[in-house]
């Protein structure tokens, strides 16, 4: 009776090792891409990306900058649905605001296709409208780089760069009530304001995940004018650009430091 033998040559071992390393690097990059923003949602610094965390992930974030302090609880309710509850305090005046955000994945990124990952979201879906904004955002990975570009309504429209395309669909999209009637009392869906306003703006940024260090560097463009903050005494943002770095201190624990709007320091845990 002859015994069976399995022969594994050196090239096969090397190939298998490279495949395993590639998978590990891919998983690490995917985890890095799904980092939390200061708003709690998956994003860069203050702006969202199209990235999603693993299904069922529950994330707690604490952010502090020279304008706000925010407590966020984000739940990846479904592979395509992210939900965030935030409790925000304002530094320049005594006021706390509860706001909710939802983000839905429209389609995933495919490494073999030039198409990016795309998501749509509503910030402050149920609340006073203080943070009211809606967005459509696309993200695409290039090795250790990840780039995002979005179209924003409400606060993410900033001063606006183009006419809101939905105004050609219906007149109701021309006016945003928070711009004319002030902010609501909270606790109700502000469906009449969703994706409304005379203009839309652009936001986005890039991140780079270092291969040899548990660090991710970020740069973002955020057109938010912080109008309500300014009306209450806060300074106007000196720049729409922000930069920062996230340190993955240990599994499931990230610390972030950023310079926002050119001259404001922010921390996030």
pTM (two decimals): 0.84
**pLDDT tier at 15, thresholds 50, 70, 90:** very low
- Tell which wins on pLDDT, 1 or 203: 203
**pLDDT recorded at residue 11:** 42
Cα–Cα dist 43/204, whole Å:
10
Q: Please tell me the predicted confidence (pLDDT) of residue 128.
A: 74
Give the number of other Cβ atoms within 10 Å of residue 23's Cβ: 10
According to the model, what pLDDT value does residue 130 have? 87
The confidence score (pLDDT) of residue 92 equals 62
Element (H or E) spanning 20, and its range? helix 10-33
Q: Is the pLDDT of residue 79 over 50?
A: yes
Q: CA 194 → CA 81, 120, 128, 168, distances in Å?
A: 18, 12, 13, 15
Which whole number is the average pLDDT over 4-24? 39
Provide the pLDDT confidence category of residue 57 given band limits of 50, 70 and 90: very high
Closest CA to 41 of 28, 32, 31, 50: 50
- The rounded distance, in Å, linking the Cα atoms of 209 and 26 is 11
- In 3D, which of 107, 167, 161 has the Cα closest to residue 139? 107
112: pLDDT confidence band, cut at 50, 70 and 90? confident
Question: What pLDDT, in 10s, does the model give residues 126-150?
Answer: 867 888 999 999 999 999 999 999 9
pLDDT of amino acid 177: 79
Q: What is the pLDDT of residue 3?
A: 40
The answer to whether residue 97 scores a pLDDT higher than 90 is no
SS3 readout for 46-96: CCECCCCCCCCCEEEEEEECCCEEEEEEEEEEECCEEEEEEEEEECCCCCE
Mean predicted confidence (pLDDT) in 180-196:
64
Task: Look at residue 230 and give its three-state secondary structure.
Answer: helix
Of residues 127 and 29, the one with the higher pLDDT is 127
CB-count exposure of residue 224 (10 Å: 0-12, 13-18, 19+): buried
Spatial contact of 35 and 242, defined as CB atoms under 8 Å apart? no
CB 64 within 8 A of CB 39: no
- Contact present, 90 and 70 (Cβ < 8 Å): no
């Amino acid at each position: 009776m002859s015994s069976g033998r399995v022969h594994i040559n050196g090239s096969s071992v090397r190939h298998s090792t490279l495949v395993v390393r590639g998978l590990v690097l891919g998983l690490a990059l995917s985890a890095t891409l799904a980092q939390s923003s200061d708003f709690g949602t998956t994003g860069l610094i203050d702006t969202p990306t199209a990235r999603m965390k693993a299904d069922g992930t529950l994330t707690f974030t604490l952010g502090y900058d020279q304008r706000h302090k925010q407590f966020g609880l984000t739940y990846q309710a479904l592979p395509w649905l992210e939900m965030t509850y935030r409790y925000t305090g304002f530094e320049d005046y005594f006021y706390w605001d509860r706001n909710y955000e939802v983000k839905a994945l429209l389609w995933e990124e495919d490494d073999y296709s030039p198409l990016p990952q795309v998501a749509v979201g509503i910030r402050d879906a149920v609340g006073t409208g203080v943070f009211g904004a809606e967005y459509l955002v696309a993200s695409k990975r290039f090795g250790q780089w990840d780039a995002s570009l979005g179209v924003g309504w409400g606060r993410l429209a900033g001063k606006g760069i183009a006419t809101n395309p939905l105004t050609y669909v219906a007149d109701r999209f021309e006016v945003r009530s928070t711009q004319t009637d002030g902010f609501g009392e909270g606790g109700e869906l502000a469906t009449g304001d969703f994706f409304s306003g005379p203009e839309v703006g652009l936001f986005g940024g890039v991140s780079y995940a270092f291969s040899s260090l548990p660090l991710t560097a970020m740069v973002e463009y955020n057109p938010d004018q912080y109008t309500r903050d300014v009306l209450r005494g806060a300074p106007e943002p000196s720049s729409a650009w922000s930069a920062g770095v996230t340190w993955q201190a240990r599994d499931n624990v990230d610390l972030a430091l950023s310079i926002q709007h050119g001259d404001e320091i922010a921390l996030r845990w």
